[in-house]
Amino acid sequence: MAQKTKSRGNSEGSVFFNSEKQKWVVQVTVGNDPKTGILKRDTKYCSTQKEALAVRKELVEKYSHNISYDANKITVQEWMDTWFKVYKVPKLRENTQVSYKNVIDICINAIGNMKLEKVQTIDLQNIIFHKIGKDKYRTCQYFRTVIKQAFERARRDHLIVDNPAEFLELPQKPPKKKFVKPTKETWNALLGYKTGFYGWKLAIFTVFITGLRRSELLALTWDSFKLEKDEQGILFGHVTIDKAMGIGNKDEVTGRRNVYVDRTKSATSVRSLYLPPPYCRELLKYRKEQNILRLASKTWEHPEMVFTTNDGRYYNPDVFSSLYSKACRELGIKTTFHMLRHDMATSMKSSHSLDFKDIQNQLGHSNIQITLDTYTHMQEEDEAAIDKFLDERFDDII
C-alpha cells in the first residue's frame, strides 16, 4: 500500500513512501501526451527519503525547462541520425553530407548507446583528445563544429537542458605548413610530367593561369569557355567558374563514392576570368585531342566535360590528388596542389599593380579576410624590401 508522506503541487512534484515496494517514490507531472491527451508523470524510485527529495529537485529543475517527457529515452545515436536526416540533409551539398556523416560516425562509435540527456562535456572532450587525437587538429575542429550544432538543436527542441558541446576545447593548433613557392622550373616539371591522364598538361596549365580550386578545375565544361578574337585577330577568352565537382555518398551497388557536379562552393565563388592567347591556343589543341579519343572510344559518358577519364567519365578528384602526389614524389617537388593556388595570390600581390580585391575575385574567396589571412605569403623580395625600409627608418632618427 502506498502511503503518501509528502505532497506538493504538480509543478513541484510529489514524494511518498510505497510500503509494498518498500521504496520512496518521486512523481512529477510533465503534461499531457499529445497523441492521447492522458496526463503523463515521470516516476522514479529511491531507497531513502533524502535521495527522493534530491531526485524530485532534479526532475522539477529538468521539466521547468519544458523538457520533453520522452527525452530520457533517446540515445545519442537515435538523435544524431534523426538530426542529420531532418535538419541537415535537405540543405547540405552531398560532399558536405559525407563530411558530416564521418563526424557523426565518430560520435556514435564512442557514445552512441548513451542516453542523450546523460551526455556531459567530458564525454565529448574525451572523443576529441583521445578518440580522434591531437595529431588530427582539423578533424577535431570539424567534430566540435558539427556536434555543437547537433546538441544545440536538441536543446532548442527541449530534449536536453544545456548544450554539453558549448565549450569544447581543441588540441594545440599545429604550425601552418610552410609555403613552398613553385618556381618556373617547378611549373615546367609538372607540365612535362608523363601520366596516363590525357588532360594532365592542360589541367596544370589551367591552374597556372587561373588559380582554380581542384573541385572547380575538374568541373569545367566546354560551355564554360568563351573564346574570341581582338581587332588584330589575336585569340583570347574568358572562363566562367560556376560549378564544382564533389565526392558524395557510396553507391549501394559498386561500393564506390559517387562523383557529381554541383554549384560552386559559395555564391561569391562564381566569377569570370580572363584567358590569355597562349592558353587559348593550348585549349583548342587539347579539344582536338579529346575529340580524337572520343571518336575512338565505344562510350563517352560526359562529352560536355573538359577533363574526363580516358572513356569519358567524370575524373574523380581524389584520383587526381593521388596522381599529383605521385608526380611530386617522383619529381622531388614539395609544393602541394593547394600551394599552386596560393602561388596565384602571391604572384598577383608581387606585381604591385593588383590589390587584394583583385586577388579575392580571381580566387573566388567569400570575403577579403580569407585573402588576407591565408593566401598572401611574403616572398623573399618583399622581405628584403621591408628590411631596407626599416634600415632607412632607423637612420632617420640617429
pLDDT tens digits, residue range 49-107?
Answer: 999 999 888 887 777 665 555 667 889 999 999 999 999 999 888 888 989 999 999 99
pLDDT, tens digit, 9 for 90 and up, residues 204-217: 999 998 989 899 99
Do residues 241 and 271 lie in contact, with contact meaning Cβ atoms separated by under 8 Å? Answer: yes
Q: Which helix (H) or strand (E) holds 83?
A: helix 76-83
Higher pLDDT, 151 or 361: 151
CB 71 within 8 Å of CB 158: yes
397 inside domain: no
* CATH number of the domain that residue 142 is part of: 1.10.150.130
Give the end of a domain, one of 141, 156, 171. 156
* Domain annotation covers residue 334: yes
Domain count, the chain: 3
Burial class (CB in 10 A: 0-12, 13-18, 19+), 100: buried
Q: What is the pTM of this model?
A: 0.68
Is residue 152 situated within a structural domain?
yes
Across the chain, where does the E strand assignment appear?
A: 2-6, 14-18, 23-32, 39-46, 225-229, 235-241, 243-250, 257-263, 271-275
Q: What is the pLDDT of residues 282-331, one digit of tens each?
A: 999 999 999 999 999 989 999 999 999 999 999 999 999 999 999 999 99
Can you give the CATH number for the domain in which 340 is found?
1.10.443.10
Residue 177 covered by a domain: no
Residue 395 lies in a domain: no
Cβ neighbors of 333 (< 8 A, separation 6 or more) are 182, 186, 189, 190, 327
Beta-carbon contacts of residue 77 (< 8 Å; ≥ 6 apart): 108, 112, 113
Do 375 and 253 lie in a common domain? yes
Which residue range(s) make up the domain with 258? 184-381
The helix/strand count (H/E) of the chain reads as 14, 9
Whether residue 343 lies inside any domain: the answer is yes
Nearest to 338 by CA among 325, 357, 353, 350: 325
Q: Is residue 367 part of a domain?
A: yes
Confidence of residue 394 (pLDDT cuts 50, 70, 90): low
Confidence of residue 343 (pLDDT cuts 50, 70, 90): confident
Clarify whether residues 116 and 45 are in a common domain: no
Could you tell me which of 59, 49, 61, 51 has the C-alpha nearest to residue 4? 49
Cell of 136: 588530427
Report phi then psi at 42, rounded to 5.
-95, 120
In this structure, are 147 and 191 located in the same domain? Answer: no
The conformation of residue 104, written as its DSSP 8-state character, comes to H
DSSP one-letter code for 367 = S
User: In the numeric block, which cell numbers belong to residue 1?
Assistant: 500500500
Domain closes at, from 32, 64, 96: 64
Residues 88/146, Cβ–Cβ less than 8 Å: no
What CA dihedral angle connects 82, 86, 90 and 96, to 10 degrees? -30
Residues 244 and 213 reside in one and the same domain = yes
Lowest-confidence pick of 8-22, 43-57, 121-135, 167-181: 8-22
Could you tell me if 94 and 140 lie in one domain?
yes
Q: Which residues contact 157 (CB under 8 A, 6 or more apart)?
A: 68
pLDDT (0 to 100) of residue 65: 61
**Beta pairing class for 225-229 and 23-32:** unpaired
> Residues 340, 226: one domain?
yes
